[in-house]
Structure 1
Amino acid sequence: MIEQSAVLGVVAVALGMVLSPGPNMMYLVSRSIGQGRRAGVISLAGVVVGFLVYLLATNLGLAVLLAAFPQILTAIRLAGAAYLLWLAWKTVKPGGASVFTVQEVPHDAPGRLFGMGLMTNLLNPKIAILYISVIPQFVALDKGNVLLQGIVLGGLQIAVATTVNLSIVLIAGGVAGFLAARPFWLRVQRVVMGGMLGVLAVMLVFDNSAGAPPVVGLG
C-alpha cells in the first residue's frame, strides 16, 4: 500500500518539474504558438509515450535493484536533491529566457510532430533523472510490491505532467502575448518556478536526516 505522503510528494515534485522551463515545455510551447493547438496536442502525445517508456524501463530494473540494495536509496535521494537545486538555479539565474518567448518554428506533419515530441522526452535529462533519482525515493520496501509502487507513482507523475502540459498547450498563445508585453511577469514566472524546485530539494535532503526510514516523502 502506498502512503499518502508518497503520493503527495510525487505530485509536488511532478508539479515543480513540469512547471519549470525545460526541453518538453519549450518544445510544446513553441509548437503551440508557431503551428497551433492541434500541433501542440500531437506533440504532447509523443511526449506522453516517452514518459511511458521511462516508466516501464526504469521500474523493471529498479524493482530488482532496490530490493537487493536498499542502501542505494540514500544516494538516489541526495542525487535527486542536487539535480533539483541545479534546475532551480537554471530557472532563476540572470539572463535566463522565459519559455513563453515567441520563436519561429517550421510547420511539420503530424507524424513528425509526434516523433519529435517522443524524442524530445526520451533525450530529456530532466525526465531521466526524475525517474532514476527522484521518484524511486518514494518507494517504501516495507509497503508491498516495489514494482507496483513504482508504476503507480510513475503513473501519478505522468497524469500530472499530461494535465499541466495540455493546459499549457491550450493557453500558450494567450500567455505568450500577455507576457511579451509585461517583462516583470516573465521574471516572476521564473522566480516562482525556481523557488518551488529549491524548496523541494531542501525538503528532500532534510526529511530523512534524523533517523527516518530509508525512503522518504515530502508530506
Structure 2
Amino acid sequence: MFETTLALILFLLPLAWSPGPGNLFFAAYGARFGLAATLPANAGYHLATWIVTLGLGLGFAEVSARAPGLFAVMRWAGAAYVLWLAWGLWQADAARGPAARRAGAAGGALLLLLNPKAYLIILLMFSQFIEPDRGAPGVLWIATVFTLNNLCAFLVWTLVGARIGARLRQGPAAGAVNRGLALLLAGVALWMAVAR
C-alpha cells in the first residue's frame, strides 16, 4: 500500500500542482477576496472531488461511456459558469469593496462537477492505480489521497494569489486588478471550453 500511495502522489504532483483551471480559479479568487473567503468554495470543490472520485472508481465511468455527449455538455456549462464569475469580477467596483460574486461551497462544487478534465484525470488515475483485489477500500483510499493532494495544491495557489492580491488591492490599482483577474478567469473559461 505504501508503494502504491507514493507512486500515486508522484503521478499526481504535476497534475495537481501545475497551473490548471482549478488552480488558476482559486489563485484569482484568493487575490480578489483573500484566503479565508475562498475556504467555502475550496471545501465545496474538494468534497465534490472526493464524491465524484468515489463514484468514478466504483463504476460511474460506465454511465459516462453510455452518454458520450455528457463531457461536451459539461465542458461548455463549466466554461459558461467560470465566464459568469469573471463577468462579476470585471464589474466589481473596487472603491466599494468586494462587490464581485464570491464562490461559496456550492460554487466550488459546481466548478468541479462541470470540469470534464477532472473526470478524465480521475479515470486515468484509476486505470493506473486501482488494485482489483482491494475493491471498495482501495477506491476509498485512492479517492482520499487524490482529494487531499488537490486540496493542498489549491490552498497553496490560493495563498499565493492572496499574497499578490493583498499588495495590489489597495488604491487606484484595485480596479485594474479586478479586470486583470476577470481576464484570467475568462482565459480559464476559454481553456475549459476548447482544450481537450
Deviation at 1:183, TM superposition (A): 4.0
Please give the alpha-carbon distance, in whole angstroms, between the structure 2 residues aligned to 1:132 and 1:143: 24
Residues 104 and 151 (structure 1 numbering): CA distance in 2 closer, same or farther, change over 3 Å?
closer
Partners in 1 of 2:177 and 2:155 — Cα distance? 24
TM superposition score normalised by structure 2: 0.61
Task: State the alpha-carbon separation in 2 of the partners of residues 46 and 160 from structure 1.
Answer: 16
Separation of aligned partners in 2, 1:62 and 1:19: 27
3-state SS in 2 of match to 1:142: helix
**Alignment partner of 1:58 out of 41, 52, 58:** 52
Identity percentage of aligned residues: 8
- Alignment check: 8 A CA contact 1:55 1:151 kept: no
Shift, 1:86, TM fit: 0.7
> What's the counterpart of residue 147 of structure 2?
154
Code of the residue aligned with 2:22 in structure 1: it is: A
- TM-score, normalised to structure 1's length? 0.56
The question of 1:128 aligning with 2:110 is answered yes
Kindly provide the CA deviation profile for residues 86-124 of structure 1, in whole angstroms up to 9, marking residues without a partner as x. 13532555993249665379xxxxxxxxxxx9x932x22
After superposition, the C-alpha distances for 1:30-55 in whole angstroms (9 at most, x for unaligned) are xx5xxxxxxx54x5555554444333
Partner Cα distance (1:155, 1:73) in 2: 29
State the distance in 1 between where 2:114 and 2:86 align: 25
Partner secondary structure for residue 120 of structure 2 = helix
Q: For this pair of structures, how many residues does the alignment match? A: 175
Aligned residue runs from structure 1 range 81-160, under 5 A = 81-90=75-84, 93=87, 96-98=90-92, 102-103=96-97, 120-121=104-105, 123-124=106-107, 126-131=108-113, 133-134=115-116, 135-138=118-121, 139-140=123-124, 142-145=127-130, 147=139, 150-160=143-153
> Residue 104 of structure 2: SS of its match in structure 1?
helix
Select which of 8, 12, 22 maps to 1:14: 22
CA pair 97-183 structure 1, distance change in 2 beyond 3 A: same
Task: Work out whether 1:174 is the aligned partner of 2:182.
Answer: no
Counterpart position of 1:211:
none
User: Gapped runs of 5+ residues in structure 2?
Assistant: 1-6, 131-137
Letter in 2 for 1:127: A
Q: Distance in 2 between matches of 1:102 and 1:201?
A: 32
- Distance of aligned partners of 1:7 and 1:92 in 2 relative to their CA distance in 1, 3 Å threshold: same
Partner amino acid for 1:86? A
Contact 1:77 1:137 (C-alpha < 8 Å) held by counterparts:
no
Q: Secondary structure at the match of 1:71?
A: helix
- Give 1:75 deviation, angstroms: 4.0
Q: Which amino acid aligns with 2:181?
A: Q
Q: Is the 8 A contact 1:88 1:195 kept in 2?
A: no
> Structure 2 counterpart of 1:90, which letter?
W
Task: Answer yes or no: is 1:77 the counterpart of 2:62.
Answer: no
The CA distance in 2 between the partners of 1:5 and 1:161, in whole Å, is: 17
Q: 1:5 and 1:99 mapped to 2: Cα distance?
A: 42
Stretches of structure 1 lacking an aligned partner (at least 5 in a row): 33-39, 106-116, 205-219
Cα 1:164–1:128 change in 2 (3 A) is: same
- 1:206-217 matched pairs, under 5 angstroms: none
Deviations 1:167-206 (A, max 9, x none): 344454432115x3464454333223312331242112xx
Secondary structure in structure 1 of the residue aligned to 2:128: coil
